[in-house]
Structure 1
Amino acid sequence: MVTHHPQKGVELYREDEAFVVLVDLPGFDREDVELRWRDRRLHVEAIHREPGERTKVFHRSLGLPRPVRDDEITATLADGVLEVRLPIADRERDGRRIDIG
């Protein structure tokens, strides 16, 4: 399986009804990475320590242009690439038109 590596370390795109975030994290293990969704932002933090070597630290926060269904966010880490899928919420959640009577 060939994994797509983002050119600038982080890539955000829309695929069907979800946003996809790719983060290049070579040398990081799953246990090194912490993901949080808060205030319509995806927070990625990673810390990797090896004996006798420097500590590698990564931190990035991404804002998304539309609300997502936060209870359906999924993430995988394979071949040094973190992939996070964030399903886009229905438009009704963004608001609605109110008729004046």
Structure 2
Amino acid sequence: MSAQHALNHDDNVYLAVTVAPSSRFVGDPDALAVHPSLTHLGIVGQMRDVQLLSVPRESWPRLQGDVLAALNTLDGVKRVDVQDPPRARVKRGGEL
């Protein structure tokens, strides 16, 4: 899968899941989609041990606890980070 992902933060919440290099998820990252609402998108950049998953934003408030618990209890998952939407940047010298 491409190292670049077209992310739509209005429709989805994105999770960066870091797995141990010896984890089964390095060879089978689709297995990280342990909840029906999770979609595996691929690796983050060139880091094979960091996988990107998405959850529909409309479902996130209701499913957040279940999804995070399911991922964090998997053997080989070191860390799960919820990605913040990018913030708009202001040009220097521009008007506020």
Bigger RCO (CA 8 Å, 6+ sep): 2
Which bin holds the TM-score, normalised by the shorter protein? 0.3 to 0.5
Structure (1 or 2) with the larger CA radius of gyration? 1
The answer to which structure has the higher helix fraction is: 2
The answer to which structure has the higher strand fraction is: 1
Query: What TM-score, normalized to structure 1?
Result: 0.32
Query: What TM-score, normalized to structure 2?
Result: 0.33
